Structure 1
């Protein structure tokens, strides 16, 4: 929701003393304020004005704001559930590469798995994810030293923990 000060700054920016005097584009913005969690006033004003500095039509403003809202919120909606799955996928790939004695490629996948696992751990508290992160860090340390078999062993432990975390969520 737009903060009250943000709404007043927006109205001042376009030269309106209040909502009743606002052009239709601003009225549309106020109607959509429940859908927009945060808004930078200058970005909103630029979106409402066309290339000549004139205000866009109501339908164009609604379309622009709807698109901005969709682009702003969709990555978080999609990514929220995918980080643990991505950590599992990269951990499996790290194990496969380490077992083929390709520690450098396994290391790359283990680092990707760690990045996703850390995000998953921040999104939800789960001891299995925390233990998996610890095991991945050990796998990475072994991968740096080109110790592929030990890296695979630690990654296998991490994978087991991630699978338990996934099972606990279901």
Structure 2
């Protein structure tokens, strides 16, 4: 066998080995983003702006990691909505922030 064929075979094998792990990593981050987004919504409905912000930031971190691991339109929109959640919350617009968190949750659930 030529060296090129061996290297190509090893590369293909490595890619096939890592693909399921990348997909699982994205799913794990989406699950974590969903959990924290739900918590953000609960605290937003109770007007706990500080806790809404904390959970939204954690959800955003996980949504971005899911986006890196496996990009799709729903994770992209979830990231935008969570960024808007944090922005509105920082402006003391808790109701608007909660609405954006709810939109983000919809996208995250569709990204599963």
**What TM-score, normalized to structure 1?**
0.51
Partner secondary structure for residue 136 of structure 1 = helix
How much does 1:165 deviate? 0.7
Give 1:87's aligned residue. Answer: 33
2:62 corresponds to which residue? 116
Structure 1: any 5+ residue segments left out of the alignment? 1-75
Q: Supply the RMSD in Å over aligned alpha carbons.
A: 1.4
Residues 146-165 of structure 1, C-alpha deviation per residue, up to 9 Å, x if partnerless? Answer: 21100000000000000111
Work out the CA distance in 1 between the residues paired with 2:109 and 2:28: 13
1:153 matches 2:90: no
How many equivalent pairs are there? 90
Q: Hey, what does 2:81 align to over in structure 1?
A: 135
Deviation at 1:118, TM superposition (A): 0.1
Q: Distance in 1 between matches of 2:98 and 2:83?
A: 12
Looking at structure 2, the residues matched to 90 and 146 of structure 1 have their Cα atoms a distance apart, in angstroms, of 20
Structure 1 residue 104, shift from structure 2 partner: 1.0
> TM-score, normalization: structure 2?
0.76
Q: Which residue of 1 aligns with 2:7?
A: none
* Displacement of 1:125: 1.6
**Structure 2 alignment gaps of length 5 or more:** 1-20
Structure in which a larger fraction of residues adopt helix: 2
